[in-house]
Structure 1
Amino acid sequence: MKLFSFMGATIFFVIINGLIDRKRIKGRQNMREILRLAAPVILEMILGMVVWIADTAMVGRLDAQALSAVGLGGQIFFSFVNVFAALGVGAAAIVARHIGAENYERGKQSAAHAFQISIVLGMVLTIFSIFIFDKFFILAKAESKVIDLGTRYLRLIAVSGLFMVPGMVTSAILRASGDTKTPMIGAIITNVINLIGDYVLIFGKWGFPRLEVDGAAIATAIGQIIGFCYVIWVLFKRDGKIKYEMAYLKTWDKKDFDQIWHLSLPAQTHELLSSGGRLIYAFMIMQLGTLSFASNQIATTAESLSFMPNSGFAVAATTMVGQYLGAGKLKEAEKNGWMSSYLAAAVMGATAIIFFFFPRQLARLFTDEMDIVDLAGKCIRIAALEQIPMGFSMVLGGALRGAGDTKGPMLTAILSTWIYRLPVTYVIVYIIKAPITALWYVTAIQYIIEAIFLVIRFKRGKWSNISIY
């Protein structure tokens, strides 16, 4: 395993260094700005990760069925949240470009129209969560107790969808304007409420009833509603380059709506393909048994450590590429895209070391059941191989979206998920019948494929010719 990991990392770096002209990213002129934008997002992700760890750990103290129900239920719900909230990708690209061109009124108008669409999508999400999403547990052939717990979890958390989609789109707009602090504060509010709510409602502390899985859903819903309401309130009340204007919220501009959808639909399709792929992947893992699914859930939670720096640098790349293109500074846009990806890769190298040498210690954060710890630890160690490729994949995907190229990441997702990962997973689970660890090698290769294709697409530079009106 160690030899495979080192060989894989070496081959990946040889390929990437051959594709990238490192002269393009020399200099530290904008590194401080990248870190300024990325740091609040990374902190926001850390806070979210702390709550997810705590949530998983507290539910994991119940039993494997409860952990599987919350794991699969949460994956179903938040997958569709991300699909609908991908509307913010198109809105962010438009707003960033208008700010770069100092066309603030158009930026406000586009932001308001994106908010209108997000409210409708939030309503659709809530309806789906109550009446449709529980069917996924049946499709996954989960145990009867897992189906019962998961269905209740989805119906209790459903109401938060009304607020989460508009809130996430609003956060994307704020970040595109260069304000990454307000979404961070919203995340602090969300996660503190969620964390306290988990403790008192799951276990019945401080005079509250012991609700177990139901308590986890209620705590998550309350935290998400209050946190995202704060973010929306700020964008209505703030004075700055971008805010929600009631005058624009009362209007319907077909040209603006068409542009938002034109840029957002590939991003939403990308998220749908990725999320759908993850759900199908989860269904196949469910066939390996509750132990494998619970171990995979813990390893996936640990893997989310990777998303924190990557998300921060991806937001920085989205904002800076979009704003520099709006200002007509193509070379600066390109430089900051590459620089953001290299900073992410450097940080992910450190994460890979932690995953490789301390996998069991990470697994022990979530459960005391040693059979789960042993299996999850093996998966986490394999995940070390995917860290640096993931950095390039996520950040260059963000850079392309900032330029308005939302089709590139979508096509990459089709290739890496639907043409490669899912068919190979099917063969491993149903034909070869290999253990869960084999699937983590498949995932590592998937990120390497994504990184190579996105590096090539960004290097070609066709994204610089995309126009936004």
Structure 2
Amino acid sequence: MESDTKKKLTLFALTWPIFIELLLHMLMGNADTLMLSQYSDDSVAAVGVSNQILSLVIVMFGFVAVGTSILIAQNLGAKKEKEAKEVAMVSLGANLVFGLLLSVLVIFLSKPLLLLMDLPEELLGEAGTYLKLVGGFMFFQALFMTVGAVIRSYGYTRDAMYITIGANIINVIGNYLFIFGPFGFPVLGVEGVAISTVISRAVAALAAIILLFKRVGGPFPFSYIWKFPKEHIQNLLRIGLPSAGEQLSYNSSQIVITAFIAMLGTEAITSKIYTQNIMMFIFVFGIAIAQGTQILIGHLVGAKKFEEAYSRCLKSLKMAIGISILMAILASIFSKELLSIFTANEEIIQLGSILILLTIILEPGRSFNLVVISSLRAAGDVKYPVIVGIFSMWGVAVGLSYLLGIHFGLGLIGVWIAFISDEWLRGLLMLRRWRSKVWLSKTFVEPKGSQLEVSNG
């Protein structure tokens, strides 16, 4: 980024490319599910459970990416570009090492992890194949997440979107070739989906690195990739570890809940996967608004513009709630048609329609968590969401899922009631925290003036 150039950051300018990128990420996952559903419902369940495990690995990478995003945004808001680039290089080196380590661990622990999920025996083979292949190359995802966080914090959200478009094209073409076998390609099913996923992620990581150096501009302190200076590592850990703790708690609690659902049979697992694939398109708006808001608030807090940061969060929250309710209602109206895209099983369609109807209550609660937690993180208040999250996710989501879904026999409907209770409890507590303004004292950098012009509109 040219030092004499002012780049105006607005919520809309940041959010629409993030929305498209997230939508394409979800389309990539849905492309796997939709294409595999033409091959085998069992394959869908196998990949779905494997991805639940891999989501935990992604959370582990995420703690560096989250810390990177917030520290760079605050440093840029405080006009400390040299320190921002140092953070970028330290983060890149740290997540590469971490990514390689976790990739190796997934390869060797794939079978024990799947057995912990209480997966039906007929799914173990395909799930293991997918987990080893995709998990073994997760370091590409670590690189992409880190570089993507840097690019977005500088305001170049469109670049990450373009990369994701390319990755999606590669992934869909690979799926088509390996699932349906045109032009003499071998029909590999789950293995083929795994191969195309790995290739697309590798290309995305390489493209992101190239764009980082092109857009942000030099000089970069490359020695920081392996130096790991104490100050930057400490700040990354101070933000990243609690943030990752909240995400880790959520994802691990979801794995336990998925294990409960597995007790209900393969059809229940498949119903959950199809329904959540549709729900993703509802809350993608909230995620995009939350991520754009996090970047803005990071810059505003770095520049000590606290009142603007405070009102920005509340404006974004109202927007996210309104959009989530509208999208949930539309999804409920067309739920049977949407579920029919994935399956012809009438029982799955009927159950999924009820779950999507309950989503009208669930999604506004989720909006509180997406927007307000992102705002608290951007301001440096990262411990409170973890404490509340662990209590609510395990005490409410997991506890009620078993009580209502298994003990009282309500099945997936009971699980969804547990999800609703968890999201609303956490969300209201987060809003109370933001309004208390405790976060005012938790910023990580001191300003020298603002290099980027940030709009609160």
TM-score by length of 1: 0.90
1:331 is aligned with what amino acid? E
Q: Supply the distance in 1 between the matched residues of 2:108 and 2:227 (Cα, whole angstroms).
A: 32
1:394 aligns with 2:370: yes
Deviations 1:188-228 (A, max 9, x none): 12111111111111121232110011111111111111112
CA distance in structure 2 between the partners assigned to 1:58 and 1:158 by the alignment: 21
User: 5 Å matches for 1:121-200?
Assistant: 121-200=98-177
Quick check: 1:160–1:222 contact (8 Å CA) kept in 2?
no
Change (3 A) 1:159 1:229: farther
Query: 1:306, CA displacement in angstroms?
Result: 2.6
**CA, structure 1 residues 250+437, in 2 after alignment: closer, same or farther (shift >3 Å)?**
closer
Pair 243,64 (structure 1): closer, same or farther in 2 beyond 3 Å: farther
Equivalent positions of 1:296-445 (< 5 A) are 296-445=272-421
Deviation at 1:128, TM superposition (A): 2.1
Q: What SS does the corresponding residue of 1:246 show, helix, strand or coil?
A: coil
1:464 and 2:445 aligned: no
2:245 maps to 1:269: yes
Task: Give the Cα–Cα distance (whole angstroms) in 2 for the partners of residues 316 and 305 of structure 1.
Answer: 17
Name which of 205, 211, 216 aligns with 1:228.
Answer: 205
- Provide the rounded CA distance (Å) in 2 between the counterparts of 1:271 and 1:124: 20
1:32: how far off? 8.4
- Mapped partners of 2:236, 2:39: distance in 1: 44
The letter for the 1-side match of 2:42 is Q
- Identity between Structure 1 and Structure 2 (%): 25
Q: What does residue 201 of structure 1 align with?
A: 178
CA contact (8 A) 1:316 1:340 kept: no
- Give the structure 2 partner of residue 14 of structure 1: none
Aligned counterpart for 2:193 among listed residues 216, 236, 241 = 216
- What is the correspondence of 1:41-80 to structure 2 with a 5 Å cutoff? 41-80=18-57
Deviations 1:105-152, CA, capped at 9 Å, x for gaps = 011011111111101111122112211133232122222220111001
Asked whether the equivalents of residues 40 and 184 of structure 1 are also in contact (C-alpha less than 8 Å), the reply is yes
Residue 243 of structure 1 and its aligned partner are, at CA, apart by: 7.7
Contact map agreement 1:56 1:67 (CA 8 A) in 2: yes
Tell me, yes or no, if the aligned pair for 2:107 and 2:132 is still in contact at 8 Å.
Answer: yes
For 1:163 and 1:153, the matched residues in 2 are separated by 16
| In structure 1, distance between residues paired with 2:80 and 2:366 | 34
Q: Which amino acid aligns with 1:424?
A: L
In 2: Cα distance, 1:408 partner to 1:361 partner: 41
- Secondary structure class of the residue paired with 1:141: coil
- Report the counterpart of residue 20 of structure 1 in structure 2: none
Match for residue 7 of structure 1? none
Whether contact under 8 Å (1:97, 1:326) holds in the other structure is: yes
- Once the 2 structures are TM-superposed, how far is the Cα of residue 339 of structure 1 from its aligned partner? 1.3
Residues 369, 206 of structure 1: CA spacing in aligned structure 2 closer, same or farther, 3 A cutoff? farther
Secondary structure of 1:133's match? helix
Normalised by the size of structure 2, how large is the TM-score? 0.92
The separation in 2 between residues aligned to 1:32 and 1:221, in whole angstroms, is: 33
What does residue 81 of structure 1 align with?
58
1:119 and 2:96 equivalent?
yes
Contact preservation (8 Å) 2:368, 2:431: yes
TM-aligned CA deviation for residue 244 of structure 1: 4.8
Say yes or no: does 1:451 pair with 2:417. Answer: no
User: What amino acid is aligned across from residue 305 of structure 1 in structure 2?
Assistant: F
Within 5 Å, which residues of 2 pair with 1:232-247? Answer: 232-240=209-217, 244-247=220-223
Alpha-carbon distance, 1:408 to partner: 2.5
For residues 311 and 339 of structure 1, the distance between their equivalents in structure 2, rounded to whole angstroms, comes to 15
Instruction: Describe the shift of the 1:191–1:412 C-alpha distance in structure 2 as closer, same or farther (beyond 3 A).
Output: farther
CA contact (8 A) 2:91 2:225 kept: no
Deviation per residue, 1:24-51 (Å, 9 max, x gap): xxxxxxx981111110010111212222
Report SS of the residue matched to 1:328. Answer: coil
Assess if the C-alpha contact under 8 Å between 1:87 and 1:267 holds in 2. Answer: no
State how far apart, in whole Å, the 1-side matches of 2:213 and 2:137 are: 20
Structure 1 unpaired stretches of 5+:
1-30
Partner of 2:86: 109
- Cα drift, residue 233 of structure 1: 2.1
Report the AA paired with residue 341 of structure 1. L
Contact 1:86 1:169 in 2 (8 A): no
CA distance in 2, matches of 1:213, 1:265: 33
Pairwise CA RMSD of aligned residues? Answer: 1.8
Cα distance between partner residues in 2 of 1:91 and 1:53: 29
Q: Separation in 1 of the partners of 2:71 and 2:179?
A: 42
CA displacement 1:64-99 (0-9 Å, x = unmatched): 321110100111112321232221111111111100
CA spacing shift, 1:32–1:344, aligned 2, 3 Å: farther
In the alignment, the residues of structure 2 paired with residue 170 and residue 281 of structure 1 have an alpha-carbon distance, to the nearest angstrom, of 32
Change (3 A) 1:32 1:236: closer
Paired residues, number: 438
Higher mean displacement: 172-181 or 142-151: 172-181
Match of 1:211, SS state, is: coil
Preserved contact between residue 362 and residue 377 of structure 1 (Cα < 8 Å): no
Aligned-partner SS, 1:210: coil
Instruction: Determine if contact 1:82/1:271 at 8 Å carries over to the other structure.
Output: yes
Taking the aligned partners of 2:72 and 2:273, their CA distance within structure 1 comes to 36
Instruction: Note the C-alpha offset of 1:159.
Output: 3.5
SS in 2 for 1:468: coil
Is 1:37 the counterpart of 2:14? The answer is: yes
What is the Cα deviation at residue 250 of structure 1? 4.5
Q: Which of 97, 101, 121 is the matching residue for 2:74? A: 97
